[in-house]
Amino acid sequence: MIEYRSIRVALLGAGSVGSQVARLLLEHGDELTARIGARIELVGIAVRDVDAKRDADLPRELFTTDAPRLILGADIVIELMGGIEPARTLVLQAIASGADVVTGNKALLAAHGAELFAAAEQVGAQLSYEAAVAGAIPIIRPLRESLAGDRIERILGIVNGTTNYILDRMDTTGASLEDALATATELGYAEADPTADIGGYDAAQKATILASLAFHTSVPVESVHREGITGVTAAQVESARRAGYVVKLLAICERLADPESGEAGISVRVYPALVPREHPLAAVRGANNAVFVEASAAGPLMFYGAGAGGVPTASAVLGDLVAIARRHVVGGPGTSESTHADLAVLPIGRITTSYSITLEVSDEPGVLAAIAHVFADHGVSVETMQQTVAESGTATLVIGTHQATEQALADTVATLADTPVVVSVASVLRVEGAV
Ligand SMILES: NC(=O)c1ccc[n+]([C@@H]2O[C@H](COP(=O)([O-])OP(=O)(O)OC[C@H]3O[C@@H](n4cnc5c(N)ncnc54)[C@H](O)[C@@H]3O)[C@@H](O)[C@H]2O)c1
Ligand SMILES: N[C@@H](CCO)C(=O)O
Ligand code: NA
């Protein structure tokens, strides 16, 4: 019989994801041993309350409330507690004590990634985080390894399941945002406090992580332009549907030249946008996630699947664990994060996009000309214009623009709002992923 060496694993947190990681480790131990060439020994699980009800039946003797002590002597620490503290201190402590770390904590990485990666690099430790972006979907490893020889041009991600569920429900049933959110809460997709999801904060954290990796640049979460879905109305979704679009909350990471200096830069932004129905992202339904990557040589690629859920997310955690454990068997330092490109993150005003603008206008002679003037004055070219006349003496104009800078489009919208024939600017949405 082969005598396998033991790799000591400490788990921090046994909630939705942690409890499934522990269960799978215990249930599939022999198979993992054969794949790794070493035995994974789960030495303990740190939790807040040893007697709390869990999603999986786990041996009580594994539980402890003393996380700092559990870390000592571990070869690999899996952090699945969430939040910033004490997760940050514990991860730093694990790295300092010579352990490698697996985490699913996007909030921690978005806020303190640079510090944690630097600490890991200093001692040759590995910090892996596949679960932190788009749950079970392999996206971190493909960006870091499979596409390491390519050049990423753009990433369009649906990386928040809760908001995708809400927008999909609005699209398919005509529900209001409030009603769709209530259903998402009932079904357990949305948290009791849904701010992080519907405000776009969760997606912004994931965008930071994706952009840093894709563009070899440390991207602070504060530099991400963020708009949530709270302003999306049933009327906008319906009008998008009639025009052949679907509204999606997108995390966009894009390589582009600064229009002012001409220097290479990147844009990282999160907002609800119109996506053409023919685009692969339009087919991402319910609470699923997808990351659409455009690479220079590979062309377009889409990674699709379950972006959340205890069991699927545990798969991503175990993948990282097995990769690290295999390295323990053969030896050598971990892979450090590369930030050599150090590209500037451009402010939202410098990016180029196109808009769909819906205006309520008076239905009288000269209105179209007046509106066309506003666009021309700001150097924004109109691509399409559709008019519907209401009985009340007003008309609805849906105007699609060609690509223009955000600043020019924002100035156009501001001037339109002050134009006497414009009764109201009913909706302004960007269009992304033109096919
Ligand atoms: N749930 C998902 O679908 C999902 C998907 C992707 C990533 N993630 C990430 O994975 C991590 C874990 O998520 P979750 O849904 O399992 O969370 P959870 O709230 O269900 O579980 C957290 C666990 O950590 C423990 N814990 C929290 N603070 C602690 C402390 N101070 N000391 C000791 N134990 C503590 C809790 O007792 C609990 O066991 C988070 O960072 C989350 O963002 C979750
Ligand atoms: N709240 C997140 C969970 C996964 O990070 C979502 O809705 O996608
Ligand atoms: Na993932």
- In SS3 terms, the chain reads as CCCCCEEEEEEECCCHHHHHHHHHHHHCHHHHHHHHCCEEEEEEEECCCCCCCCCCCCCHHHEECCHHHHHCCCCEEEECCCCCCCHHHHHHHHHHCCCEEEECCHHHHHHHHHHHHHHHHHHCCCEECHHHCCCCCCCHHHHHHHCCCCCEEEEEEECCHHHHHHHHHHHHHCCCHHHHHHHHHHCCCCCCCCHHHHCCHHHHHHHHHHHHHHHCCCCCHHHCEECCCCCCCHHHHHHHHHCCEEEEEEEEEEEEECCCCCCEEEEEEEEEEEEECCCHHHHCCCCCEEEEEEECCCEEEEEEECCCCHHHHHHHHHHHHHHHHHHHHHCCCCCCCCCCCCCEECCHHHCEEEEEEEEEEECCCCHHHHHHHHHHHCCCCEEEEEEEECCCCEEEEEEEECCEEHHHHHHHHHHHHCCCCEEEEEEEEEECCCC
Are 284 and 290 contacting, i.e. CB atoms less than 8 angstroms apart?
A: yes
pLDDT of 2:
81
pLDDT for 259: 86
Q: Which ligand is nearest to the CA of 163?
A: 2
d(Cα 64, Cα 10) in Å, to the nearest integer? 11
103 CA from centroid of ligand 1 (Å): 10
User: Does 53 carry a binding-site annotation?
Assistant: no
- Residue to probe by mutation, ligand 1, list 80, 159, 206, most atoms within 8 Å of CB: 80
Structure confidence at residue 390 (pLDDT): 81
Which pLDDT score, from 0 to 100, does residue 53 have?
A: 95
Residue type, 352: T
The 10 Å Cβ neighbour count of residue 256 is 16
Q: Residue 296 annotated as binding?
A: no
Q: To which residue do tokens 């809400």 refer?
A: 166
Q: Is 300 contained in some domain?
A: yes
Tokens (6 digits) for 9? 């694993």
Q: Looking at ligand 1, which atom is closest to the CA of residue 47?
A: 34
* Residue-level pLDDT at 111: 97
Residues with a beta carbon under 5 angstroms from ion ligand 3? 130, 134, 137, 139, 316
Backbone angles phi, psi at 118, to 5 degrees: -65, -40
Claim to verify: residue 114 and residue 148 sit in the same structural domain: no
- Active-site residue, 248 included: no
Task: Tell me if 320 is assigned to some domain.
Answer: yes
Instruction: Calculate how far, in angstroms, residue 169's C-alpha sits from the geometric centre of ligand 1.
Output: 27
Q: Could you give the C-alpha distances from 410 to 229, 286, 384, in angstroms and in order?
A: 19, 32, 18
- φ, ψ of residue 187 to 5 degrees: the values are -85, 0
**128 and 89 part of one domain:** yes
361 plus 259 within the same structural domain = no
Which residue's alpha carbon is nearest to atom 2 within ligand 2?
160
Q: What residues pair up with 386 in beta bridges, in sequence order?
A: 398
Per-residue model confidence (pLDDT) at position 414: 97
Per the residue annotation, which of 206, 225, 226, 255 is the catalytic one?
206
- Are the C-beta atoms of residues 258 and 285 closer than 8 Å to each other? no
Whether residues 121 and 75 share a domain: the answer is yes
Per-residue pLDDT at 393: 87
213 touches 130 (CB < 8 A):
no
Where is the domain boundary, 272, 295, 330?
330
Q: Is residue 343 part of a domain?
A: no
Provide φ and ψ at 152, rounded to 5°.
Answer: -80, 125
Q: Which of 287, 271, 277, 262 is nearest to 350 (CA)?
A: 262
Q: Which ligand is nearest to the CA of 210?
A: 3
Residue nearest to atom 28 of ligand 1 (CA): 81
**pLDDT of res. 261:** 93
Strands 382-389 and 76-79: unpaired
- Calculate how far, in angstroms, residue 106's C-alpha sits from the geometric centre of ligand 1: 11
Contact 155, 132 (CB under 8 A): no
Q: Which residue has a Cα nearest atom 26 of ligand 1?
A: 81
102 domain residue, yes or no: yes
- Identify whether 264 is part of a domain: yes
Residue 22: partners with Cβ closer than 8 Å, 6 or more residues away: 11, 14, 42, 45, 56, 58, 62
Q: How confident is the model at residue 391, as a pLDDT?
A: 78
Q: Is the CB of 315 under 6 A from ligand 1?
A: no
Q: In Å, how far are 179, 214, 248, 273, 316 from 165, measured between CA atoms?
A: 12, 27, 10, 15, 22
Ligand with minimal distance to 20 CA: 1
Residue where one domain finishes, among candidates 273, 307, 341: 307
Any domain includes 203 = yes
85 Cβ contact list (under 8 Å, min separation 6): none
**Domain identity same for 388 and 317:** no
Domain span at 209: 140-307
Are 154 and 296 found together in one domain?
yes
Q: Could you identify the residue written with the tokens 């545990």?
A: 314
Ligand showing the shortest atom-to-Cα distance for residue 320? 3
User: At which residue do the structure tokens 């352990």 appear?
Assistant: 99
Is the minimum distance from the CB of 161 to ligand 1 under 6 angstroms? Answer: no
| Structural domain total, the chain | 3
What's the CA dihedral at 20, 21, 26, 28 to 10 degrees?
A: 100
Tokens of 103: 């985490």
Is 336 annotated as contributing to ligand binding?
no
Domain check: are 127 and 15 in the same one? yes
Question: What's the CATH code of the domain at 70?
Answer: 3.40.50.720
Helix axes 177-186, 161-173, angle to 10 degrees: 120
Identify whether residues 127 and 23 lie together within a single domain: yes
Q: Is the beta carbon of 362 within 6 A of some atom in ligand 1?
A: no
How do the pLDDT tens digits run along the chain, 435 residues long?
Answer: 788 999 999 999 999 999 999 999 999 999 999 999 999 999 999 999 999 999 999 999 999 999 999 999 899 999 999 999 999 999 999 999 999 999 999 999 999 999 999 999 999 999 999 999 999 999 999 999 999 999 999 999 999 999 999 999 999 999 999 999 999 999 999 989 999 999 999 999 999 999 999 999 999 999 999 999 999 999 999 999 999 999 999 999 999 999 889 999 999 999 999 999 999 999 999 999 999 999 999 999 999 999 999 999 999 999 999 999 999 999 998 988 999 999 999 999 999 999 999 999 999 999 999 999 999 999 999 999 999 988 788 999 999 999 999 999 999 999 999 999 999 999 999 999 987
| Minimum CA distance residue for ligand 2 atom 4 | 308
Is residue 266 included in any domain, yes or no? yes
**Buried/exposed code over 343-371 (b: 16+ C-beta within 10 A; e: otherwise):** bebbebebbbbbbbbbbbbebeeebeebb
For residue 296, report the distance from its CA to the centre of ligand 1, in Å.
37
Is any ligand 1 atom within 6 A of the Cβ of residue 21?
A: no
For the Cβ of 407 lying below 6 angstroms from any atom of ligand 1, the answer is no
Contact status, residue 133 vs residue 218, Cβ threshold 8 Å: no
CATH number (domain holding residue 219): 3.30.360.10
Is 43 part of a structural domain of the chain?
A: yes
